[in-house]
């Protein structure tokens, strides 16, 4: 089987830097990112397209859909969504594809900045509409339970209409454990509970080592620093422990991390210095085909 990996850019946001960096002071995190007059930092929504060619044809798997453009204008402004069009659909179109060509959509969790792209762009007077009509939607069982009955602390992170549409689609599969029967053993899921219960990080074996979709465990390169967490994380100490385990394993295996929210770096290899501090190298900064073996 021949497998092609492509990094796609979805819609972008600007969110409060203090919220994104938790208890880290602005004097520290402002060295790593630009900040505007409203104290907001730029964030991307990066998706990973996996195309598998075999004797049975091509199977297309999409990891994440980003925030999309489903918010009505007032909420889009509140949450700092930059573009009004659905950028992920445009990125697929540039490759000669549409949402109807996707066979499987994998969602690490169901917060709106990762799953909102499942919905069509907002139009006045029209109800929410589910995209990817031929795809099976995969997410974790425990994350699904959280989305259906969220805590007051993260209730605003979920889209009730999306949850209803997914449930009614009859194309939702919930993952329990490390593997999905639909995807097969080439895809392993790493559970993380520090950001939200039952978040699943997809790991794919490549010729250049394992590649993990970092989701919101390590959303961008600044969060490779172990003590750095987000104010949105439900359990910061647990998240740091989970991040330490993931980065240690990737560093030991010469592995790669795909960043869901980094506007400047899509993928990088994880390394550690002589003091055990993690960093990135072999950065792939632009959307497009990922040639990890050549990096």
For 11, counting Cβ atoms within 10 Å of its Cβ (0-12 exposed, 13-18 middle, 19+ buried), the class is: buried
pLDDT in the model for residue 221: 98
- Mean pLDDT, residues 14-21 taken together: 97
With a CB cutoff of 8 Å and minimum separation 6, the contacts of 31 are none
Identify the domain containing residue 167 by its residue range: 2-294
CATH number, domain at 190? 3.60.15.10
Query: What is d(CA 224, CA 257) in angstroms, rounded to the nearest whole number?
Result: 10
* Residue 295 clears pLDDT 80, i.e. is over it: no
Contact 145, 92 (CB under 8 A): no
pLDDT in the model for residue 276: 85
Query: What is d(CA 285, CA 213) in angstroms, rounded to the nearest whole number?
Result: 15
pLDDT in the model for residue 274: 82
pLDDT in the model for residue 273: 86
- DSSP H helical ranges for the chain: 17-20, 26-29, 73-78, 87-94, 112-115, 141-148, 160-169, 236-252
Q: pLDDT of 204-260, one tens digit each?
A: 999 899 999 999 999 999 999 999 999 999 999 999 999 999 999 999 999 999 999
- Mean pLDDT, residues 172-177 taken together: 97
* Residue 293 clears pLDDT 70, i.e. is over it: no
* pLDDT band at residue 56 under the 50/70/90 scheme: confident
Instruction: Supply the pTM of this predicted model.
Output: 0.96
**Percent of residues, the chain, with pLDDT higher than 70:** 99
pLDDT in the model for residue 275: 85
**Number of domains into which the chain is organized:** 1
* Residue 194 clears pLDDT 80, i.e. is over it: yes
pLDDT in the model for residue 294: 60
Query: What is d(CA 202, CA 235) in angstroms, rounded to the nearest whole number?
Result: 21
Q: pLDDT of 245-279, one tens digit each?
A: 999 999 999 999 999 999 999 999 999 988 889 99
Residue 249: CB atoms within 10 Å: 15
Q: Residue 228 CA to chain centroid, in angstroms?
A: 18
Q: pLDDT of 95-146, one tens digit each?
A: 999 999 999 999 999 999 999 999 999 999 999 999 999 999 999 999 999 9
């Amino acid at each position: 089987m021949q497998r092609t990996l492509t990094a796609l850019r979805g819609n972008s946001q600007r969110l409060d830097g203090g919220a994104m960096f938790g208890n880290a002071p602005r004097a520290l995190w402002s060295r790593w990112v630009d900040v505007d007059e409203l104290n907001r930092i730029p964030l991307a929504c990066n998706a990973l397209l996996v195309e598998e060619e075999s004797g049975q044809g091509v199977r297309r798997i999409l990891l994440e859909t980003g925030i999309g453009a489903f918010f009505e204008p007032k909420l889009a402004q509140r949450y700092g969504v930059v573009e009004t069009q659905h950028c992920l659909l445009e990125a697929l179109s540039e490759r000669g594809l549409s949402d109807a060509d996707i066979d499987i959509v994998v969602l690490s969790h169901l917060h709106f900045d990762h799953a909102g792209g499942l919905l069509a762009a907002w139009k006045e007077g029209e109800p929410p509409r589910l995209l990817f009509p031929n795809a099976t939607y995969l997410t974790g069982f425990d994350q699904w339970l959280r989305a259906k009955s969220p805590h007051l602390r993260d209730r605003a992170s979920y889209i009730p209409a999306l949850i209803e549409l997914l449930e009614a689609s009859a194309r939702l599969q919930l993952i329990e454990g490390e593997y999905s029967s639909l995807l097969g053993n080439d895809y392993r899921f790493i559970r993380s509970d520090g950001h939200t219960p039952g978040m699943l990080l997809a790991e794919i074996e490549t010729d250049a080592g394992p590649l993990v979709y970092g989701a919101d465990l390590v959303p961008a390169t600044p969060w490779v620093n172990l003590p750095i967490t987000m104010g949105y994380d439900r359990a910061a100490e647990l998240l740091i422990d989970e991040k330490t385990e993931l980065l240690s394993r990737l560093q030991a295996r010469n592995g790669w991390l795909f960043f869901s929210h980094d506007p400047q770096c899509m993928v990088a290899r994880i390394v550690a210095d002589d003091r055990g501090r993690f960093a990135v190298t072999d950065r792939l900064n632009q959307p497009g085909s990922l040639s990890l073996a050549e990096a």
